[in-house]
Amino acid sequence: MSSESSKYNNMFIPKNDTLIEKLKRETKPIVVYGMGNGADKVFSLCEENGIVITDVFASDEFVRGQSFHNFIVKTYSDIENKYGYFVILLAFAVFRDDLMNKIDKMARKHTLYVPDVPLFGKSVFTYDFFKANYDIICRAYDLMADELSRRTFADIINAKLGGSYELLRRCESDRQEVFDNIIRLTHHERYVDLGAYDGDTITEFLAQTGGRYSKITAFEPDRKNMKKLEYKYGSLDNCKLYPYASWNKDTTLNFSGNGGRMSCIDEHGGEVQAKALDNVCMNATYIKMDVEGAEYETLLGCRRLIEKSAPSLAVSAYHRAGDIFTLPLLISSLNPQYKIYLRHHKYVPAWETNLYVVG
């Protein structure tokens, strides 16, 4: 860490307070809540750091006597009866109010952590990763345009390092606040939706503009999602839907499509066309990017549009471990006049952490 960035030392938690170090000191049983892909990654993280997991549980409705990592999956009450007090590692994503309320109650009674394991890429937000990127993390923090963005940035970094459920809940903000205070949409928008899924964010856009706009352009490479998108909005006026992945150039990529939100570029998937937005559209006023780990390349693919027109941007900043700091730095390099805001909407782990950018 450079001496110049040492002024930020009190902003971020020390190594001794990181999740790995706390788990290494823990004397209570450590149990994993969940049994999906996220739980696999949590098991790997613990094994790599010599942390012993003693059991696995799932929500009652999912427990059917399954085994996971050689454990018989139990219910929460089973775990309480067996151990009394224990440490919970939350290993799946949650945003629904009913399930959030259950987890809130667990967190009040037991120690509950949210390990930060990346959706894409191999980098994990460990203390070593943080230290190696400390200077550029501080540079990204300085790009934040308001106090809420700066507080959110610090809370997310510390939640990633320390696994803090409380910090993630503390820094939540409402999506409507973004449209009220940052992305103030008009009735003349030329909207581009990259990673349009089944049209949910087109629906949001239309609600915010009262259905009035100039043009909508959408990319969605997943065939099943594209069918849903076409069913909803294929006949909408001035709306063009493309079966493309977004990228930094026009090419062919391997893509794994499963008809859900997690469809992504994958070397083991089938081929799809990928396009740089600069080669499809040069007159956007508002671009949303939720492209499952391809945000960096997508931004490079609309470099000319950003430099020339400075459209407002909504960019997911949580798919890869470094997105929260690499993406603001890239955006600023493409157009230094931009104001960059960060918001975290209700989701655990730190998903739905987005950059909102205006010229």
Question: pLDDT per residue over 81-109, tens digit each?
Answer: 999 999 999 999 999 999 999 999 999 99
Name the token pair of 204: 């949001």
Q: Are strands 251-256 and 270-275 parallel, antiparallel or unpaired?
A: antiparallel
Is residue 205 within 8 A of residue 216, CB to CB? The reply is yes
* Residue 155 confidence (pLDDT): 97
Name the token pair of 238: 């001035």
**84 Cβ partners below 8 Å, 6+ apart?**
none
In the chain, ranges of CATH 3.40.50.20 domains: 4-170
In the chain, ranges of CATH 3.40.50.150 domains: 175-316
Count Cα atoms within 13 angstroms, Cβ side, for 158.
Answer: 24
What is the Cα–Cα distance from 232 to 226, expressed in whole angstroms? 10
What is the Cα–Cα distance from 116 to 42, expressed in whole angstroms? 8
What is the Cα–Cα distance from 211 to 241, expressed in whole angstroms? 17
The correct CATH number of 175-316 out of 3.30.200.20, 2.60.34.30, 3.40.50.150, 3.30.70.100 is 3.40.50.150
* Residue 10 confidence (pLDDT): 85
* Residue 262 confidence (pLDDT): 58
Q: pLDDT (tens digit, 9 = 90+) per residue, 39-98?
A: 999 999 999 999 999 999 999 999 999 999 999 999 999 999 999 999 999 999 999 999
What is the Cα–Cα distance from 289 to 295, expressed in whole angstroms? 7
What is the Cα–Cα distance from 107 to 90, expressed in whole angstroms? 10
* Residue 2 confidence (pLDDT): 45
* Residue 260 confidence (pLDDT): 56
Tens-of-pLDDT digits for all 359 residues of the chain?
A: 444 446 677 899 999 999 999 999 999 999 999 999 999 999 999 999 999 999 999 999 999 999 999 999 999 999 999 999 999 999 999 999 999 999 999 999 999 999 999 888 889 999 999 999 999 999 999 999 999 999 999 999 999 999 999 999 999 999 999 999 999 999 999 999 999 999 999 999 999 999 999 999 999 999 999 999 999 999 999 999 999 999 999 999 877 666 556 555 666 667 889 999 999 998 999 999 999 899 999 999 999 999 999 999 999 999 999 999 999 999 999 999 999 999 999 999 999 999 999 99
CATH 3.40.50.20 is held by the domain 4-170? yes
What is the Cα–Cα distance from 160 to 322, expressed in whole angstroms? 11
